[in-house]
Amino acid sequence: MKRIFESISHPRAAVIIHDFCMVLVACFATVWLTQSLSVTPFSSNLTATTSLMTVLLIQGGVFLTTGLYRGLWRFASFQDMWNIVRASVYGTVSIMVALTVLQGLAIRQWIPAALIYPVLLFVLLGLPRMCYRFWKDSRMIVRKSGKNLKRVLILGAGRSGAMLERELRRRGGFDIVGFLDDDRRLRGAQVHGVSVLGAIDQLPRKGADYNADLAIIAMPSASNQQMQRVVEICELSEIEFRTLPTLQDLGSQATNIGDLKRVVIDDLLGRDPVSLEWESIRQGLVGKRVMITGGGGSIGSELCRQIARLNPVELIVVDHSEYSLYKIDHELRSDYHDLLFYSVLGDICDPATVEKVIGDYKPDVIFHAAAYKHLPILQTQVREAFRNNVFGTIRVAEAAERNGVGTFVLISTDKAVNPANIMGATKRVAEMYCQNINARSNTRFITVRFGNVLNSNGSVVPLFQEQIAKGGPVTVTHPEISRYFMTISEASQLIMQAAVLGGGGEIYVLDMGEPVNITYLAEHLIRLAGKEPGRDIEIIYTGLRPGEKLFEQLFHELEPYEQTTHEKILLAHPRAGDWEELRSELRDAELAVRRYDTKNLQQALVRLVPELAKSGFNTKPAKVIPIHRSS
């Protein structure tokens, strides 16, 4: 009783009063129908005060317990209709049991009424709700649209397309003129009353025939090849186009099926969503103290975000850039209020900093992402590259061993395979050191090697976007140059997966798919910006820079590889090396670093990584000389 009166004092009192009136109407209609059909009504004195109060109290209580008043009429849905069905059936059973007890009726007397009453009640409660929603939706569409309806073609008539159509119709301002889908079985069919007009490659013609203003790609699970094809068709149609979030985007609570976004290069080059063995990752990382060096960088910061979701005991982030550390510190403290998080401003090349941080925090796992990686700059900075990429790694690795760290993950690069540049060679030396120390330590030293990361700091994508924003030209070093790419999120997740796969000493190589031609990348970035390559934005080829190769390799010829239990992670068998010889070379190199002796450092690097000499090793600054213009 108390709950009913509390509900009546609620702003939805009109809804409750309506429903109680409908209960009375259903009761009287049931009596009239049972008498008209010449059958015995379920109560001989149903209009009596006692009987009516019994019906209202019981049915009202059932309404509350079935959650009927949690939904708004404005958004009446299938779930609300199901609640009405349950309330009608449960209420009928409860009322009949109560009346049988109170009035001593036989069961056979109320069976006809038990069949009529719930049907009437469902219609009387459900029909007004659906009519109200239809009325409100119609008013909203008229109010929002006016004379500025945007005519839309939806590409993809599957579940996502159907959900999008309903969402756009609810929002108003859109006139859905049709669907396009490659499934022949859908030709001529209708989705929510909207026709499937043909295949996706008919977009240029159908767009013109129906005067479409916007095409929306409703294919969240499409592969990159499928997206490339669809985007090319959209570009040919010269119709403005948008896409729905990907399946990975939809995993975020802040992203809805109706959120439209511009197609970005990640949609074209990002591959199928990564399927991770989250249970093994949780076992390897949950409840652990995790430290990330270079945690403010592109890969390091994404590792922070991914690991923070796994609820580690502590997360320690080290970075030498104050601003980068501030950004990831602010983000994690804002998004993960319960996370025990420490940010440390420090240089991994400083032995005191490294020993203090690892000694005090005692991490269980270290992800070593700190490194210099910009190839052209490092080509003339051999001392700093050696100091950071090699000796920084050694400092952290040795401190990890001394302090009993369980797992040390070195994040390496495909440029360490047959390196032709300072950056790749120094990362290869870091790999060699971790492989050798693993055999002499209780710490598991694991290396993860992958290629370029889309939109990472200093990568080619932000550079091209900046050049396009300025009106061009876009500079590509060679028409045939290609690189492997993956998204930051994918790279970080596969690094975590590899970290729990290895027993120590392994080199894990992430499956990068097919290499991407850089000219192709530049052309698509220009088109996604609404420009035409060669007409609006020129592409200029400047010549390969010192240390730059036309293509990268993921494996050395002396590194046989095999498939692991994860389809996107391969295992390269590391090459054997002489530990004492390596240590001797590194001692000499450390003296050269202290003396700033770049000549001896170059020689040491060639001795440690003989492949470097075969590449025509050159540390002269690059000269940008245009050799070709796109027409």
Q: For position 328, what pLDDT does the model report? A: 93
Three-state SS string over 393-438 comes to HHHHHHHHHHCCCCEEEEEEEHHHCCCCCHHHHHHHHHHHHHHHHH
Predicted confidence band of residue 250 (pLDDT cuts 50, 70, 90):
very low
| Shared-domain flag, residues 132 and 182 | no
SS3 label, residue 535: coil
Is 601 a domain residue?
yes
Is 480 a domain residue?
no
Q: For position 414, what pLDDT does the model report? A: 82
Is 154 a domain residue?
yes
Is 535 a domain residue?
no
Across the range 221-243, mean pLDDT stands at 80
- Are β-strands 214-217 and 150-155 bridged in parallel, bridged antiparallel, or unpaired? parallel
Residue 246 has pLDDT above 60, yes or no: no
Residue 590 has pLDDT above 60, yes or no: yes
Predicted confidence band of residue 325 (pLDDT cuts 50, 70, 90):
very high
What is the residue-wise DSSP string for 492-504? HHHHHHHHHH--S
How far is the C-alpha of 64 from the C-alpha of 542, rounded, in Å?
Answer: 73
Is 13 a domain residue?
yes
Predicted confidence band of residue 152 (pLDDT cuts 50, 70, 90):
confident
| Shared-domain flag, residues 259 and 293 | no
User: pLDDT tens digit string along 346-392?
Assistant: 999 999 999 999 999 999 999 999 999 888 888 889 999 999 999 99
Predicted confidence band of residue 409 (pLDDT cuts 50, 70, 90):
very high
Q: At what angle do helices 351-361 and 392-402 cross, to 10 degrees?
A: 30
Is 476 a domain residue?
no
Predicted confidence band of residue 322 (pLDDT cuts 50, 70, 90):
very high
Residue 9 has pLDDT above 50, yes or no: no
| Shared-domain flag, residues 498 and 387 | yes
- Higher per-residue pLDDT: 293 or 465: 293
Task: Say if residues 317 and 325 touch (Cβ distance below 8 Å).
Answer: yes
Is 333 a domain residue?
yes
Residue 578 has pLDDT above 70, yes or no: yes
| Shared-domain flag, residues 298 and 219 | no
Residues 6+ apart with CB under 8 A from 594: none
Which of 17-31, 236-250, 257-271 has the highest mean predicted lDDT (pLDDT)?
A: 17-31
Other C-beta atoms lying within 10 Å of the C-beta of residue 520: 13
| Shared-domain flag, residues 231 and 363 | no
Residue 545 has pLDDT above 80, yes or no: no
Across the range 309-313, mean pLDDT stands at 85
Is 606 a domain residue?
yes
Residue 38 has pLDDT above 70, yes or no: no
Residue 1 has pLDDT above 60, yes or no: no
| Shared-domain flag, residues 138 and 170 | no
| Shared-domain flag, residues 135 and 173 | no
How far is the C-alpha of 134 from the C-alpha of 621, rounded, in Å?
Answer: 69
Q: For position 18, what pLDDT does the model report? A: 77
What's the total number of domains in the chain? Answer: 3
| Shared-domain flag, residues 434 and 496 | yes
Range of the domain at 15: 2-142
Task: Give which of 460, 458, 434, 461 is closest to 448, Cα–Cα.
Answer: 434
Across the range 564-580, mean pLDDT stands at 71
Which of 484-488, 511-515, 618-622 has the highest mean predicted lDDT (pLDDT)?
A: 484-488
| Shared-domain flag, residues 447 and 397 | yes
Domain final residue pick, 229, 248, 263: 263
Across the range 492-514, mean pLDDT stands at 80
Q: For position 611, what pLDDT does the model report? A: 79
Residue 302 sits at φ, ψ, to 5 deg, of: -70, -35
- Higher per-residue pLDDT: 439 or 79: 439
Q: For position 411, what pLDDT does the model report? A: 92
Domain final residue pick, 84, 108, 142: 142
Q: What is the pTM of this model?
A: 0.64
Residues 6+ apart with CB under 8 A from 76: 129, 130, 132, 133
Query: Average pLDDT of the chain?
Result: 78
| Shared-domain flag, residues 221 and 247 | yes
The encoded tokens of residue 613 equal 């000499």
Sign of CA pseudo-dihedral 290, 292, 293, 296: negative
Q: Residue 12, CB half-sphere, CA atoms under 13 Å: how many?
A: 15
Across the range 133-147, mean pLDDT stands at 55
What CATH number did the domain enclosing 362 receive? 3.40.50.720
**Least trusted range by pLDDT, from 226-235, 244-253, 455-464:** 244-253
Predicted confidence band of residue 28 (pLDDT cuts 50, 70, 90):
confident
| Shared-domain flag, residues 567 and 438 | yes
| Shared-domain flag, residues 132 and 233 | no
Domain final residue pick, 195, 228, 263: 263
User: pLDDT tens digit string along 78-113?
Assistant: 667 777 787 778 877 777 777 777 666 655 666 677
- Higher per-residue pLDDT: 137 or 37: 37
